[in-house]
């Protein structure tokens, strides 16, 4: 396309120059100059025809390349984009770029607030769970010392307490993951 524009521009330029030079030429040498100019014009026309032929060949090659690219894309071989990146704005629907960006920022803030709330709730759950486990351990220890429960009942209750501790440890690891995600979100927003 650019070559075509350049060729057309050159053609218009040469046509304008030829018109301008014919307007006021020296008197008496008109026939010789006309002959020289007609030769020059013929040479320029030949050059333009050759360029047009080359442009046609280039267009055919470009069409073939485009067809190859389309077939490669259909096969999943996209040469231009290796697949890195996020492409968040690709499917933004009816939203403009600014509206889409503002909506994404609002969604990110909401997600961050929800994550902070989940972290707080998890911390409270873990704290209450640990307190209940401590109280239960103390209670069964006192009951065993006062011989209000047998050793078998003590072992069974102790087993339930260790299971509760394992669940609390799982909650702690999930809490740590959520905290890492929150710190990453904060880094991204800065």
Asked if 184 and 109 sit in the same domain, the reply is: yes
Distance in angstroms (rounded) separating the CA atoms of residues 43 and 51: 12
Look at the block and give the residue holding tokens 């320029």: 44
Q: Is residue 83 part of a domain?
A: no
Distance in angstroms (rounded) separating the CA atoms of residues 21 and 124: 93
**Both structure tokens of 165:** 């501790």
Q: How is the chain split among helix, strand and coil, in percent rounded to 5?
A: 85, 0, 15
Q: Is residue 49 part of a domain?
A: yes
Asked if 122 and 180 sit in the same domain, the reply is: yes
Q: Is residue 87 part of a domain?
A: no
Asked if 184 and 115 sit in the same domain, the reply is: yes
Asked if 183 and 115 sit in the same domain, the reply is: yes
Asked if 118 and 183 sit in the same domain, the reply is: yes
Asked if 110 and 185 sit in the same domain, the reply is: yes
Q: Is residue 96 part of a domain?
A: no
**Both structure tokens of 182:** 């929150």
Asked if 46 and 112 sit in the same domain, the reply is: no
Asked if 55 and 112 sit in the same domain, the reply is: no
Distance in angstroms (rounded) separating the CA atoms of residues 43 and 179: 77
Asked if 119 and 184 sit in the same domain, the reply is: yes
Q: What is the extent of the structural domain holding 1?
A: 1-20+40-61
Asked if 56 and 122 sit in the same domain, the reply is: no
Structure confidence at residue 104 (pLDDT): 81
pTM value is 0.47
Q: Is residue 100 part of a domain?
A: no
Predicted confidence pLDDT, tens digits, the chain (190 residues): 778 788 777 776 767 666 555 555 555 555 565 666 677 777 777 777 777 776 666 666 666 666 666 665 555 554 555 666 666 666 667 778 788 888 888 888 888 888 889 889 999 999 999 999 999 989 888 888 888 888 888 889 899 999 999 999 999 999 999 888 888 888 877 6
Looking at the 3D structure of the chain, how many domains does it have?
2
Q: Is residue 136 part of a domain?
A: yes
Q: Is residue 112 part of a domain?
A: yes
Q: Is residue 90 part of a domain?
A: no
DSSP code, position 90: G
């Amino acid at each position: 396309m650019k070559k075509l524009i350049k060729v057309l521009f050159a053609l218009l330029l040469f046509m304008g120059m030829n018109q301008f030079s014919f307007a006021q030429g020296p008197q008496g040498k008109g026939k010789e100059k006309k002959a020289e100019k007609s030769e020059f014009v013929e040479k320029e026309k030949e050059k333009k025809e050759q360029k047009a032929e080359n442009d046609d060949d280039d267009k055919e090659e470009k069409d073939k390349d485009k067809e190859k690219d389309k077939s490669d894309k259909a096969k999943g071989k996209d040469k231009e984009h290796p697949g890195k990146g996020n492409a968040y704005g690709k499917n933004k629907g009816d939203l403009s770029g600014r509206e889409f960006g503002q909506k994404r920022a609002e969604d990110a803030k909401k997600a961050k607030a929800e994550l902070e709330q989940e972290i707080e709730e998890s911390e409270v759950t873990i704290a209450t769970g640990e307190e209940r486990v401590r109280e239960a351990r103390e209670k069964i220890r006192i009951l065993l010392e006062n011989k209000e429960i047998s050793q078998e009942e003590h072992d069974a209750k102790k087993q339930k307490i260790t299971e509760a501790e394992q669940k609390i440890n799982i909650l702690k690891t999930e809490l740590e993951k959520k905290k890492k995600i929150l710190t990453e979100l904060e880094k991204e927003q800065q």
